[in-house]
A and B are shown apart, each in its own frame.
Chain A
Amino acid sequence: MSAHAEPHEHHGPPPIHYSSRVSPSVLGMFLFIASEIMLFGAFFTVYFFDRVVNKPFGGHWPPEGFHRPVFVALINTLILVTSSATMHWADTSIKKGNRAGLQAGLVLTLCLGFTFLFTQVIEYHRLGFATKDTSFASTFFGLTGLHGAHVFVGLMILLVMTVRAFRGHFSPEHHHGVEIGGIYWHFVDVMWIVVYVTVYLL
């Protein structure tokens, strides 16, 4: 038997360091969520700074003459929460090997997501104010628009997932694509609840 030491020219942190308490996929999700929190956080900071610190309309929020479509947004909230349930149904189905359930769940989620986005676009047209009309309008469109962009990205992911599901992809053992897409969709749902409560209700 022989003994040998590894070469040690390396200076600084160890060349192989896996930080293995966190797996790469979980770490990726952490980083993604952190970046999203910073992005939404910047928009919420502007919103609350204007509303609480600036108080641009004498303490009236929204300013007089501006109306927030609370009821339509509530319907949209219910649509999005329902879409989370159908997404969960799709994921549970493929884990049990139920392909029809996966396909039906994804199609329903896709339809509900498109309905949400379509309703929001219609509502934008009926609001009666534009982004240039006061800081209230700017922050309103900024936050709801940022969320809408996330819904659009989520719908593209769902569309790909749905096409793949109908082409026979995914199985009880291999459904990572459904899992990750589902996490993103639920994240979009969570962000909408935050946006709905802060922008429409409070």
Chain B
Amino acid sequence: MRNPFRSEADAFRFVWLTIGYFALIFLGSLINVWVGVAVLVVVTAVALRWLLRRGAQEAPVKQTPAASPPGEYRILVVANETVGGPELLSEIREHSRGQAARVLVVIPALNSPLRHWVSDEDEARAAAQARLDESLASMRQAGLDAAGEIGDGDPTLAIEDAVRTFQPDELIISTHPAGRSNWLERGVVEKARERFDLPVTHVIVDLADQT
């Protein structure tokens, strides 16, 4: 839902909506108290539905990260279980070839909704940390200048946070193949393309083929 007090113009519009809202309720109550109550319920439901639908249809604001320092190319890599896949490693090497590249690996601390709401994220962070350490070791062997951090449990939010702090030149998202990837079902790659003014590369890592 969009904040009705986001700007002065929005707040001014909200004043008129409030006048209309209460005018309808008052007119209903002039007929009968219960008509007034019915108008209150109906108008409130319509207003909420309109606000929620308007918020859902609103395209996200495209974010352009600040430029990275001159002479340095920054690659943001977001992955979870597929972070150790050879396809991802070769893609990173391909993209960083011939330039002084810095790589930041972000692994979202994926958690169950219940654990998320009760702030029980120790296990999720520990699992993400283990994967991060392993992938950084692989990158070290491959000669890459890489650092890493654990991100928010929501991959889109984790990307957004890292985009602001790391200011990458491009983004690589690694997922399982379609049908087995929760991130693809949730449209993480599409959202990233929609939201960030960055080249986004989607790497599919099929771990089943590697076992």
User: Chain A residues in contact with chain B, CB under 8 A?
Assistant: 1-6, 8, 11-14, 16-21, 26, 29-30, 33, 81, 84-85, 87-88, 91-92, 178-179, 182-183, 186-187, 189-190, 193-194, 197, 201-202
Return chain A residues, CB-CB under 8 Å to B36.
Answer: 202
Interface residues of A, dominant DSSP: helix
Q: Which of B5, B8, B148, B150 has the most chain A CB within a 10 Å cutoff?
A: B8
Tell me if A197 and B136 are in contact (CB < 8 A). Answer: no
Partner of B15, one of A6, A20, A190, A202: A190
Tell me if B11 and A182 are in contact (CB < 8 A). Answer: yes
Return chain B residues, CB-CB under 8 Å to A8.
Answer: 129
A18 to chain B, nearest CB (A): 5
Given contacts A186-B14, A193-B22, A202-B29, contact A20 B8 (CB under 8 A): no
A20 to B11, CA, bound (A): 23
Given contacts A30-B3, A182-B11, contact A17 B152 (CB under 8 A): yes
B151 within 8 A of A: yes
Tell me if A84 and B15 are in contact (CB < 8 A). Answer: yes
Tell me if A190 and B14 are in contact (CB < 8 A). Answer: yes
Q: Which of B14, B15, B161 has the most chain A CB within a 10 Å cutoff?
A: B15
| Residue in B closest to A27 when the chains form the complex, CB atoms | B3
B211 within 8 A of A: no
Tell me if B8 and A91 are in contact (CB < 8 A). Answer: yes
- For chain B, the bracket of interface size reads 35 or more
Tell me if B19 and A14 are in contact (CB < 8 A). Answer: no
| Residue in A closest to B22 when the chains form the complex, CB atoms | A197
Return chain A residues, CB-CB under 8 Å to B121.
Answer: 13
Tell me if B157 and A21 are in contact (CB < 8 A). Answer: yes
Tell me if B8 and A29 are in contact (CB < 8 A). Answer: no
| Residue in A closest to B129 when the chains form the complex, CB atoms | A8
Tell me if B26 and A201 are in contact (CB < 8 A). Answer: yes
User: Chain B residues in contact with chain A, CB under 8 A?
Assistant: 3, 5-9, 11-12, 14-15, 18-19, 22, 25-26, 29, 36, 119, 121-122, 129, 132-133, 136-137, 139-140, 143-152, 157, 160-161, 164-165
Return chain B residues, CB-CB under 8 Å to A21.
Answer: 157, 160
Tell me if B160 and A183 are in contact (CB < 8 A). Answer: no
Return chain A residues, CB-CB under 8 Å to B119.
Answer: 13
| Residue in B closest to A30 when the chains form the complex, CB atoms | B3
A8 to B15, CA, bound (A): 50
A82 to B19, CA, bound (A): 13
A44 to chain B, nearest CB (A): 14
Tell me if B8 and A182 are in contact (CB < 8 A). Answer: yes
Return chain A residues, CB-CB under 8 Å to B144.
Answer: 1, 3
Q: Which of A4, A186, A193 has the most chain B CB within a 10 Å cutoff?
A: A186
- Name the 8 nearest CB pairs between A and B, nearest first: A3-B140, A182-B8, A186-B11, A88-B12, A197-B22, A1-B145, A91-B8, A183-B11
Return chain A residues, CB-CB under 8 Å to B147.
Answer: 4-6
